[in-house]
Amino acid sequence: MGKVDFSPIADTTRRAEIVALLRRAILTGQLEPGQKLNELRISEQMRVSRAPLREAMRELVQEGILTSIPYAGTFVIEVTAKDIDDAYSFNKVMDELAIERAWPLRDQRFYDELDRRHEAVKLATRELDTTRQIETALQLHGLIYEWADNSVLLETWQRLTSRLQMYFALHQHARNEPVPAEDVHETYVRLLKGKDMRAAQRHAREHIDLDFEELLSYARGLEQRPSRGA
Amino acid sequence: MGKVDFSPIADTTRRAEIVALLRRAILTGQLEPGQKLNELRISEQMRVSRAPLREAMRELVQEGILTSIPYAGTFVIEVTAKDIDDAYSFNKVMDELAIERAWPLRDQRFYDELDRRHEAVKLATRELDTTRQIETALQLHGLIYEWADNSVLLETWQRLTSRLQMYFALHQHARNEPVPAEDVHETYVRLLKGKDMRAAQRHAREHIDLDFEELLSYARGLEQRPSRGA
DNA sequence: GACAAGCAGATTGTCGACAATCTAACAAGA
DNA sequence: TCTTGTTAGATTGTCGACAATCTGCTTGTC
């Protein structure tokens, strides 16, 4: 028999597709923080009944990017400076852990995948596709979590990723200028291939801090302004 | 005007109550790992239509204690030794982080709350209410997370708690013997009130390891046996 | 007896309609 | 003018029925 390993076939429920659509809309900033999601309107736009839409919304509420108030509505989460601070502060510690766990498990497949994802970021950067750039950068970053061989750690990272992506998208959207062309991940990738684990951890921490300061100042600005309604 | 601060009134949707009911059933082991949840049967038992039940199930799927396969059904998650290992290994690192963050924020209210929750555990222990004992012990443990002033850290803990509670319940259910009468949390509470942070962290780590070994051996046993169907 | 096709029953996914609740505007009274 | 009661409209929550899919059994063929 052939040694083909088939990937699982796609979810064929409307619910799953709705989740993907909504998540994308939120993470790319098409749906703004605080905005209310009108069930009837969205279900009509998607040509879907409210049942699967509502189920999809429940999932995203649990995922942490929507929030629901009974009989009032479901809203995109607000973003405060403290939320961003909390997420990044937490992320830094998780990163150290992930690097520590993944470190002894690095192999050729790891290095190959590292390069592959690095290339994906560079491609998105060249094409000036900011959304894709954020997405690929997070995927590059997530490799250490996938390699750390801890399901809970990985799951926690994936949850956090949603919000990080949203924060970055907001940021990009706000400053609205072309993305830095230079390759900021060069050092990160090189250190992950090297022999000094502490150095890799240190860089991950400092590298994150870099973008972080910019994001924070943006978020602080946000808090002055009133939130947008429906 | 009076200075009463009213707490938010309870969720009055069926969905919220169903979530609570199902979660309780799972975390106490009434619903066993791998077991299928028949929507029609459950909705009839609860005198509720399938719509809110299904929405509740989506929430619990995202919470990580149910798993769903399209057109096949929704099941209580299986518990493997690695799952437990991952959860505890992750929990240990999180504990150190939480203690570190909460440490400088300890105040009288913290100590009072610590005592209050400690008392709750002791009460449940005296009354031989194993379910409540697990619940209160986790709440005692969770105080450092609530005090760490990081929303992401707290949220991650709360998610993890569900599964920890499930693991413990399974364990208790399996060995089926009266709970240890002595107070295993005495030292933990004392150290959290003291001045040596490192000692508190060390104890948290070692204390967890204690129960952990027992749980693991139980989980390894589970894996031999076939999973129960519906 | 082994195997594939097809059928029946059960279960999940989706739909459209109704009930419960909220919001905002307006009117009435102190 | 401020507060309170009322009402209409819109929106969310829930329901019962139908469609799509899966599973296991039966049947027929070799």
**What is the C-alpha to C-alpha distance for residues A138 and A124, in angstroms, rounded to an integer?**
12
Six token digits for residue A2: 């052939």
Q: Which residue has the higher pLDDT, B163 or B209?
A: B163
The residue ranges of every structural domain in chain A are 14-76, 81-224
CA distances from A173 to A82, A131, A202, A211 (A): 20, 10, 29, 15
**What is the C-alpha to C-alpha distance for residues A214 and B85, in angstroms, rounded to an integer?**
38
Q: For B55, which residue in chain A has the nearest alpha carbon?
A: A55
Q: Which residue has the higher pLDDT, B5 or A65?
A: A65
Average pLDDT score over chain A: 87
**What is the C-alpha to C-alpha distance for residues B209 and B221, in angstroms, rounded to an integer?**
19
Fold of A14-76: Arc Repressor Mutant, subunit A (1.10.10)
pLDDT band at B180 (very low <50, low <70, confident <90, very high): low
Q: Which residue has the tokens 């596709």?
A: A129
Is residue B225's pLDDT more than 70? Answer: no
User: Could you check: is the Cβ of residue A12 within 7 Å of any atom of nucleic acid strand D?
Assistant: yes
Please give the average per-residue pLDDT across B81-101, as a whole number: 93
pLDDT band at A173 (very low <50, low <70, confident <90, very high): confident
Average pLDDT score over chain B: 88
Q: Does domain B81-224 have CATH number 3.50.50.60?
A: no
- Residue B196's CB: how many other CB atoms inside 10 A? 10
Residues of A in contact with B155 (CB under 8 A): 64
A66 three-class SS: strand
**What is the C-alpha to C-alpha distance for residues B135 and B162, in angstroms, rounded to an integer?**
10
Inspect the interface and report whether the beta carbons of A12 and B70 lie closer than 8 Å. Answer: yes
Q: Å from B2 (CA) to D4 (C1')?
A: 21
Closest CA to A163 of A73, A74, A72, A60: A60
Lowest mean pLDDT among A138-147, B103-112, B130-139, B170-179: B170-179
Residue A70: predicted pLDDT? 93
Is residue A139's pLDDT more than 50? Answer: yes
Test mutation, A90, A149, A160, chain B, max B CBs within 10 A: A90
Please give the average per-residue pLDDT across A204-212, as a whole number: 73
∠ CA A173-A178-A183, rounded to 5°? 115
Inspect the interface and report whether the beta carbons of B150 and A51 lie closer than 8 Å. Answer: no
How is A188-228 classified by DSSP, letter by letter? HHHHHHSS-HHHHHHHHHHHHHHHHHHHHHHHHHHHHSPPP
Q: Å from B140 (CA) to C4 (C1')?
A: 61
Please give the average per-residue pLDDT across B25-50, as a whole number: 95
**What is the C-alpha to C-alpha distance for residues A206 and A226, in angstroms, rounded to an integer?**
32
Closest CA to B79 of B168, B161, B141, B156: B168
Q: According to DSSP H, which parts of B65-196 are helical?
A: 81-102, 108-126, 130-147, 151-175, 186-193
Residue B99: predicted pLDDT? 97
pLDDT band at A219 (very low <50, low <70, confident <90, very high): confident
Is residue B152's pLDDT more than 50? Answer: yes
**What is the C-alpha to C-alpha distance for residues B59 and B162, in angstroms, rounded to an integer?**
13
Amino acid symbol at A32: E
Q: Which residue has the higher pLDDT, B91 or A221?
A: B91
pLDDT tens by residue, A10-59: 668 999 999 999 999 999 989 999 999 999 999 999 999 999 999 999 99
Residue B10: predicted pLDDT? 63
Q: For A98, which residue in chain B has the nearest alpha carbon?
A: B90
Q: Å from A211 (CA) to C21 (C1')?
A: 44
Q: Which residue has the higher pLDDT, A126 or B57?
A: B57
Residues 67-126/A with CB within 7 Å of nucleic chain D are 68, 70-74
Is residue B88's pLDDT more than 60? Answer: yes
Residue A155, judged by CB atoms within 10 A of its CB (0-12, 13-18, 19+), counts as middle
Q: Å from A174 (CA) to D14 (C1')?
A: 41
Sequence-separated (6 or more) residues with CB below 8 Å from residue A91: A160, A164, A208
Is residue B201's pLDDT more than 50? Answer: yes
pLDDT tens by residue, A75-133: 999 999 899 999 989 999 999 999 999 999 999 999 999 999 999 999 998 888 888 98
Q: How far is A122 from chain B (nearest CA, A)?
A: 30
Is residue A226's pLDDT more than 50? Answer: no
Residue B2: predicted pLDDT? 42
Q: How far is A143 from chain B (nearest CA, A)?
A: 18
Q: Which nucleotides in chain C lie closer than 7 A to a protein CB?
A: 11-17, 20-23
Beta-sheet strand order (sheet of A66-69):
A36-37, A73-76, A66-69
Q: Are B98 and B145 in contact (CB under 8 A)?
A: yes
Q: Are B214 and B167 in contact (CB under 8 A)?
A: no
